[in-house]
Each structure stands twice: as structure tokens, then as C-alpha cells.
Structure 1
Amino acid sequence: MSKDEAKPDWAMSKRERENAARVAAGQPPKKRRRWIFWLIVLVVLVAGAGWFVQSGQFAEMQAQRAAAEAEAQAEADARAARAAIIQLAPFEVTAVAPSTLVETLKITGSLAPARQVHISSEVTARVESVAVREGERVELGDVLVRFDTEALDIALTQARANAEATRVQLEKARTDFERTQDLVERGLSASNTLTAVRSALDQLTATLAAQDTLVASAQRSRDNALVRAPFSGVVSVRAVDPGEFAATGSALVTLVDLTSLEVEANAPVAYAPDLAPGLDVDLTVEGFGDRVFRGKVERVSPVALEGSRMLPVYVALENETGELRGGMFASGRIVLEARADGIGVPAGALRHDAEGAHVIVVAGDKVERRAVEVGRSWDAGAVIEIASGLEPGDMVVTEPLPELQPGDTVELVEIGQ
């Protein structure tokens, strides 16, 4: 029984009923024409491919693919060339030579004059003239500020006159005391008279002493009407102008000595046992490039800064030429320990494998493995001391170049070649 005959009439589709009727009439059933559907799909695909090729995108993709293949080939050729000869730049190799190996401590700070003074007025008077301006150099004893002396002269004259008048009274009182004492000793005057005369003499003596002090004070004020430089230096601040009235204690001029500077830096308190006055310090100063200035640790604070665990360290720096200025930023290293004539290489030059520590040495146009015995590290681990295995003049590869292996052919090239 066929599949169509197995179904009841009510479950058949229209096509199935027609086929059943054809079979009943002795005619073959109609076959499904699925090839038409696939033909349509094929036509659509062919048309799309034709459009894609004509639109130019296919050609662009082909060009991109060709460019990628050419680039890959070029890279392969370059790798092959590098494999044949590896070029080394000057900064990638170092000629071994005995040198001083140092352990240092990095510091930073600002320059400040080791000696500076803020000159204040010691008189109350009007400023008559100011002889200096900011940035001008003065020598010891030069006049900086001059005050009007009219009121000071009057005060000095009055003090002297008062003292002179009291001195005359004192001489008379001393004469009266001596005469009264003689009369009392002869019994011609009562003893209480001598007591009164002695009291007057003591009072005038004390008054004259006080007035002599006033004279000295007035004389000192008169002398301070001329403000002189206490040392040779440079004026950094001028705080008054002619015509101003200055009271005692008013700021006048700030004078600095630039021949000696000081750097206040902070060091971790853990380095306290290693820090001591006299240690050498190499400093670089902002604005002077790589130029190195040599200073010395002058003193170390006995107490760390509260809450920071940092220890103030003061570095003295000579500046005879005066080219350095206060306020410049400086950075440097304190030399904590040094060893002369040591063999050291940068830490990046040291390699390790199953056989131990070694370096790569350039020998002619080849590189070879050289086993070394490692000593201690210096400069906070940046330099490794080599106890044995290297000789002065050996050319060591100092950069970590993982692609460079013993036996490779190398060529030393200059920068810009």
C-alpha cells in the first residue's frame, strides 16, 4: 500500500488527492519539482558573485592579500638577515675596566644660602636713604640704609645734658657729705645729719648711673642710624624705601652669602647608621644639565621627622663662582661606601642558566658565553661586582637581549649608521 493510500481522504492534501485520482485512473502520480528551487538559488549566487567582482571589492581584497603576503615575506627576509648578522649598538656593549664601585643613597632638596641675615631697624626714625637694591653685591661694612639723625641727635644731646647736670649735683652732694662727716667726727654736728646727707649722695649716684645708661643708649641709636653690611654678600630683599618711618624691629634688608650653599634633604631613617658628616655627595642642579657638583654631608639631624620616618640631612656645597642660586632644585647621591679598582657590570648583563651565572662576551665577530663568579651588588643593585671570569678590555653585552645567543655573528655599529 502506498503512502497516499494509507491516509484517509480527509487527511490528504490537494496534491495527494490529485495523485490518488491519477493512480485510480491508471496514470502515474506527479513528481515534485524540487530542482526548480535549487536552480533559482544557483542563479542568485552566480548573479551575486558577478556583482561582487564587478564592484571592485574583490580586486581590493586580492590587493590587500598580496600586500600582506609581501609584508610577511619581507619580515621573514629581515629575520633571516638578523639571524645571519646581529647588529649591536654602542649602548648595548661595555668594555670592562677597573673602576670605583660605590653604594649610594639618592637624595633631593633645594639649595639655600648657608649664611643669611634679615637686618631689622634698631632705631625708631625716618629712612633717609637706601643704598642697595635686590641682587646687588655688597662688601663687609658697606652702608645699606641711612636714617634721619636729627631726632636722634636731639635725644643724645638731651641725655648728655641731664647726665651732666646730675653729675654736678653729685659732686656738690659728695662735698656736703665729706664736710658733714668731718663735723660729726669733731662733735660739732648730730649724727643723724650725716645719714640724711649720705642718702642724698646715694640717690644722686644712682640717678647718674641711670642717666649714663640713657646716654649710651642714645649714642648707640645714633650710631645705628647707619646700617652696615655684617658680611660680604648679595641683597635678596629690600623691605624699605626712603621717606618711610621705621620703628625698632622693622625689616630693612635681607643679605645672603652665596659662596657657600646648603641642601636640606631627607633620608630614610634606616640609613642612619651609615650617615655621618664628611661623606661625599654628587649633586646635579636644575638648569645645569648633567654637570656634577661635589658636596659633603655637613651634619645629620639626631631626630627623624615625626610621622615620616625620614631623617633630615644637610649637605654643604661650595659656590665660589656664585653661579648657583638659592631655591634651585638639586638631586644627588650620598656615597655611603666605595671600593676602588673593582670590576662591575650593569645588572642587565648578568644571565643565568642551568650551568650558573654568565655573561655574553663579544669575541671578534662572534659572541660567546663566559662563566663568571658574582660578588656583591652595588649602587642599590644596579651594578654587579664580578669576582672572577672577566678581564679588563673584555667587551660585554650589557643589555638583556634574549634573542642573542652564544655563537651568533654580531656587528658593532655606530648610532646613526
Structure 2
Amino acid sequence: MNYEGGKLEREHLLIAEGGDVIGEGPDPARRRRRWMIAIAAAVLVAVAAWWFMGRAKPAEAPRAPAATSVTVVVPGTQEADRRATGTGTLAARREMPVGVAGEGGMVSRVLVEAGQWVREGQVLATIDRSVQTQTAASLGAQINVARSDLTLAQAELERAQSLVDRGFISKADVQRRIATRDAAAARLKVSQATASEQRARNARLDIRAPAAGLVLTRGVEPGQIVSSASGVLFRMAKGGEMEMRVLLSEADLRGVRVGSRAEVTPVGDTRTFPGEVWQVSPVIDPQTRQGTARVALRYDPALRPGGFASATIVAGSSQLPELPQSALLSDTKGNYVYIVDGENKVQRRDVTLGVVDANKVAVASGLTGSERVVLSAGAFLNPGQKVNPILQKPAR
């Protein structure tokens, strides 16, 4: 039993390796080979770990964001027109109301319409004159009677003068005939004056244009009874000349002079009409603190008296900075630009605009012209932001 148990124990100690049977006894060559394989594997693992660690880059410290590059310009100053803007109404520069100058009567004809051009003295309307015509005829007959009386008195005087030297007629009779002749001459003059007065009255029954111009309104129709108390029957614009009465603030009015150029734009029209200031109000309304500048305009059908319009008046010139419109920004607080200070930081600068055209805008206040102004992309900047300014020369 002991012998068989010991044999089984020895068999269990045998190790099969690669199909070879290893006995229980020590084998130095095999153990050295296993140790060498283990050492080589450890060296390979160490080399691989070193290689991978060498390729991995160390973590870099976070960098500060680069400053944004922006284009800036130093605008300087240029001579620019200083303009005043205002609104007002259109009117005839010289409006002429036309009414009845005589005794009046029933209107028989109206010969013109509103919007029609007329010459000086042209008949606008006529009043029935049937009665006045008969009166004029009667006065004409009286003139003929007076003239006949004068002729007879003159003939009698001449005969008396031829007989006085022969003693047939006294000098007293001659003097009476001279008086009779003079009285007949006076009656003739009275008759002629009365007839002339009647003709003048009849002529005033024709309502005539006092000067050449444009008929603006017509307020009478045939059959209407008119008199000197009837008021205005026609309104005319002398020569068709128009004007705009521009309301300006007290400060703006101070720079406006007679002869200042102006541009007028009627409401509902995209066209502008050139004009010239011909009168500046000498007083300021104490309630509105405004005054009136009257701008003379040439006639145009678009300039209708009573209409509303806006005007821009050149009120002198001054040295102002000018910028491209891309530099201008606006919000609820008003217009502003961004400037770059000495530390290259963006700062907001509120400005007041002057003349604005398609390419540039004059800055009336807020800039001296020596600042570095951001030309574009201002909407993407914030006050206090640091930038990299790139200077661009302003266009002249």
C-alpha cells in the first residue's frame, strides 16, 4: 500500500510541457530558460511604456485670447456746410385776392378756372350791366345837348362882338353873351365828366386780374349776386411765384441769411426743389421759440399752396470731422461711434450729426477729429474691449 501511494504521488508531480514529460527532479537548464524569458518580457514592457510616455505631450497652459483687429481712421476736420432742417407750408409768394371793385350786381359770365394762367388786366368775370348801359347812353346824349348849347352861345357871342363897334349892341349885352358861352362850356364839361365816371363804373363791373399770374381759387358762379361786401371771388399767385414758410428753431434761424440756398421736398413727393431764402422773420414766437424763413420757389405743379413740405437750408459752413456712414452706430440713446483710446481699448462716444449724404456724414459735435475711430464692425465690439487697431488714411 505504501509503495503504491508513493508512486501515485510522484506521478502527480510530473508536468507535461509542450508534449514532454518533466520529471520531478530539478532541471537547472529549463529554469534558467524560463527566467530569461520572464526578464526579456519585463524589459519589453518597460521599453514600450517608455516609448508611449515619450510621445505624449505635456499639457499646455491656457493662452489669453488674441486681440481683435479693427480698422480705425483719424478723420481730422474738413469744411462742411452747416444745414438747418424744418417743416412748414407752401404758399403763393405774393397772393392777390380779387373781388368786386364797383357797385356789383348779378354775375353774367365767369371766364377762368382755377389753375389757369392769366395776363394783367384780363377779364375774369363780368357783371350784368343792362341798367348801367342805358345810363351811359343818357349821359352821352346830355353831352351832345351841352355841346350844342355851347356852339349856339359861341355863335351869338361872335355876332354881338361884330355889332358892338357899330353901336347896335351895348357892351353889357356882349358880357352877358360871354357868360352864357362860358356856362354852356361848363355844362359840357360836367356832362363829359359824368359820362366818364359812368364809363369807369361800368368798366369796374368787369372783374379783372390786377397782375399776370396763376389763378389759385375761384369762388363765384354765373347768376350769383355780388357786391363790394361779397369778399374774395378769386385768389391769384402773382407771376406764379411760390414759397415755403419754414419753421426753424431759434438756434437754427440765427445762421440763416437772405440768399441762403435751400432744398424743399413736398409731402408725398420724392423730388426736391431748389430755392433761396428771401426773407427771415425778425421775431421769434415766444410760445414755440421758433421763427419763419421764407424760401422763394419757381412754379411747379407739385408745389401746391397750402401743402406741407420739409426743407433743408444751408446755414453757413464750419470745420467738422467727416466719417463714412459705416462708422456710425445708433441705439435708443442716440447716435454714437467707437473710438480706440491710448490703451487700445474700445470706448463709446456719443455724437451729433451734421450733413449726411450717400457716402459720408459730418459730425457736428462729439468728436474733435483727432480720435481713432472704428470704421466698421462696431456692432460686434463692446466698450472696454481690447483691440488691435489698424490705421487707415481717411479718403479726401
Could you tell me which residue of structure 2 aligns to residue 294 of structure 1?
274
| Mapping 1:78-227, distance limit 5 Å | 101-123=80-102, 124-133=104-113, 135-140=114-119, 143-181=123-161, 189-227=169-207
Distance in 2, matches of 1:398 and 1:113, equals: 48
Gapped runs of 5+ residues in structure 1? 1-82, 361-367, 410-417
Normalising by structure 2, we get a TM-score of: 0.58
> Shift of the alpha carbon at 1:278?
0.9
Contact 1:120 1:252 in 2 (8 A): yes
> Shift of the alpha carbon at 1:113?
1.5
Gapped runs of 5+ residues in structure 2? 1-64, 329-334, 356-361, 390-396
SS of the equivalent of 2:305 reads coil
Distance in 1, matches of 2:190 and 2:168, equals: 35
| Mapping 1:251-270, distance limit 5 Å | 251-256=232-237, 259-267=240-248
Is residue 264 of structure 2 the alignment partner of residue 283 of structure 1? yes
What whole-Å deviation, never above 9, does each CA across 1:52-75 have from its counterpart, x for those lacking one? Answer: xxxxxxxxxxxxxxxxxxxxxxxx
* Match among 299, 309, 318 for residue 319 of structure 1: 299
What whole-Å deviation, never above 9, does each CA across 1:30-57 have from its counterpart, x for those lacking one? Answer: xxxxxxxxxxxxxxxxxxxxxxxxxxxx
Distance in 1, matches of 2:292 and 2:86, equals: 10
Contact 2:213 2:239 in 1 (8 A): no
What code does the residue aligned with 2:245 have? E
Contact 1:101 1:344 in 2 (8 A): no
Larger Cα Rg: Structure 1 or Structure 2? Answer: 2
Contact 2:74 2:369 in 1 (8 A): no
Distance in 1, matches of 2:239 and 2:73, equals: 41
Cα 1:283/1:244, change in 2 over 3 Å: closer
SS of the equivalent of 2:182 reads helix
SS of the equivalent of 2:294 reads strand
What code does the residue aligned with 1:168 have? S
Could you tell me which residue of structure 2 aligns to residue 236 of structure 1?
217
Could you tell me which residue of structure 1 aligns to residue 226 of structure 2?
246
What whole-Å deviation, never above 9, does each CA across 1:263-285 have from its counterpart, x for those lacking one? Answer: 22355666676432210123332
Cα 1:193/1:398, change in 2 over 3 Å: farther
Please state which structure has a larger fraction of its residues in helix. 1
What code does the residue aligned with 2:246 have? A
Cα 1:210/1:349, change in 2 over 3 Å: farther
Distance in 1, matches of 2:127 and 2:73, equals: 68
SS of the equivalent of 2:181 reads helix
Contact 1:173 1:200 in 2 (8 A): yes
Distance in 1, matches of 2:195 and 2:98, equals: 24
Could you tell me which residue of structure 2 aligns to residue 329 of structure 1?
308
Could you tell me which residue of structure 2 aligns to residue 349 of structure 1?
337
Aligned-pair Cα RMSD in Å? 4.8
Distance in 2, matches of 1:95 and 1:177, equals: 107
Distance in 2, matches of 1:213 and 1:205, equals: 12
Distance in 2, matches of 1:185 and 1:211, equals: 35
Distance in 1, matches of 2:161 and 2:284, equals: 71
Contact 2:275 2:296 in 1 (8 A): yes
Deviates more, 1:124-133 or 1:395-404: 395-404
What whole-Å deviation, never above 9, does each CA across 1:196-253 have from its counterpart, x for those lacking one? Answer: 4444433333332232233223334444555455535244132x22222333564433
> Shift of the alpha carbon at 1:326?
0.9
What code does the residue aligned with 2:152 have? K
Distance in 1, matches of 2:339 and 2:282, equals: 43
Distance in 2, matches of 1:268 and 1:198, equals: 78
Deviates more, 1:294-303 or 1:182-191: 182-191
Distance in 1, matches of 2:181 and 2:386, equals: 109
What whole-Å deviation, never above 9, does each CA across 1:304-342 have from its counterpart, x for those lacking one? Answer: 56887754432112233x112111122323211136997
Normalising by structure 1, we get a TM-score of: 0.56
What code does the residue aligned with 1:348 have? Y
Distance in 1, matches of 2:165 and 2:257, equals: 76
Could you tell me which residue of structure 1 aligns to residue 19 of structure 2?
none
What code does the residue aligned with 2:144 have? E
Query: Percent of aligned pairs with the same residue?
Result: 22
Contact 1:260 1:319 in 2 (8 A): yes
Deviates more, 1:123-132 or 1:107-116: 123-132
Distance in 2, matches of 1:148 and 1:403, equals: 83
